Amino acid sequence: MAVTFSHRGVCISDLAASKRFYIDALDFAEVIDYGVMGGAQMEQTTDIPDIRLHPVMLQHRDGPRLELLHFEAPPAFGSRERRSTLQYGLVHLSFYVDDIDASAERIRAAGGHVFEETRAHYPEGRTTMLYCTDPDGVRIELMHTEGVAGRFSHSGICVEDVDASLSYFQALGFEPVENYVLDGGYEWLATVNEVPGIKLRAQMVRDKDGNVIELLKVFDPPSFGPRERRKLNQYGLTHLAFWVDDVDAVADILAARGGTWAEQTRVVMPGIELYHGADPDGVRIELMRPIQG
């Protein structure tokens, strides 16, 4: 059974604006423009009737891919403000940068927003952190650490149970690496998260290709929000996608580890089989199997 991480997805309001942002501010490049897609099978796998979707795949200079999802119909919905880091589900995209002020200025110039009040210094790691957002409110975490070259770092998920989430993502090829237990009521942590007195654990997991996910468990104050699969046309980070060679085998293992599946989303299209579900905290998971010929 083979599993390979493919990409992260984000629902956006303006395709040109988001392409400009991720290309000019964060060193992505456009690699595939799929054009406008629709029809019965797209409606089925996305669970969205009368869909007209324009997806564009971007790739970071370090390799990670980001799929921009622009809905021509039905319109996307939801808040375009930054989500709280206490809210269950996909939280942010994180980047190491060589110069945090220069990177913040690039974000402003490319149509994003910089929240200077979140600037904080983690003394043990000699790290400065600053939160920004893309044009649709997706949290972009900038980190500068002495001696660490600029690169894409990770994406974060706010979880209810680290061990349950760890077991789930191990089935997708991720293994635990760094583990940060930050339960001392640190002022710098409260500043960057905009949450007084916050206490948390950040368990990093990494796959064989170097992709990293942060499993973020907040001890205090309690996390909040639904832990159900979000609609694809809801603004913000939408899903994690994986290439697999056996959809049934992978889906069964993930279900046994707390995942759920929406049977109606399973379709076989020219060249690809698709199946949508969710991890234990409602993060949408897309399985993709290539079909020869």
Q: For 242, phi and psi rounded to 5 degrees?
A: -135, 140
pLDDT the model gives residue 123: 79
User: DSSP state, 62?
Assistant: T
Q: Give the pLDDT of residue 73.
A: 97
Model pTM score? 0.96
Nearest Cα to Cα of residue 2 among 207, 256, 210, 282:
207
67 close to 55: Cβ distance less than 8 angstroms: yes
Residues of the chain with pLDDT below 50 are: none
What is the overall mean pLDDT for the chain? 96
The set of residues, in sequence order, having a beta carbon less than 8 Å from that of 148 and lying 6+ positions away, is 96
**What is the reported pLDDT for 286?**
98
Q: Do 23 and 30 meet the contact criterion of CB atoms below 8 Å apart?
A: yes
- Fold held by 89-220: 2,3-Dihydroxybiphenyl 1,2-Dioxygenase; domain 1 (3.10.180)
What's residue 1's pLDDT? 76
Dihedral of CA atoms 57, 58, 61, 63 in degrees, nearest 10, equals -30
Tokens of residue 25, six digits:
């501010």
C-beta atoms surrounding 186 within 10 Å = 17
d(CA 223, CA 204): 19
What span, in angstroms and rounded, lies between the C-alpha atoms of 234 and 14?
A: 14
Tell which residue, 204, 226, 203, has the closest CA to residue 278: 226
The residue to which tokens 């021509």 are assigned: 72
The predicted-structure confidence for 201-221, as pLDDT tens digits, reads as follows: 999 999 999 999 999 999 999
Domain ranges within the chain, ordered by starting residue: 89-220
- Per-residue pLDDT, 293: 64
- 184: its two tokens: 């001392």
Residue (of 111, 215, 224) closest to 154 by Cα position? 215
CB environment 146-183: b (16+ within 10 A), e (fewer): eeeebbbbbbbbbbbebebbbebbebbbbeeeeeeeee
User: Which amino acid is located at 41 in the chain?
Assistant: Q
Q: Could you say which DSSP state residue 286 is in?
A: E
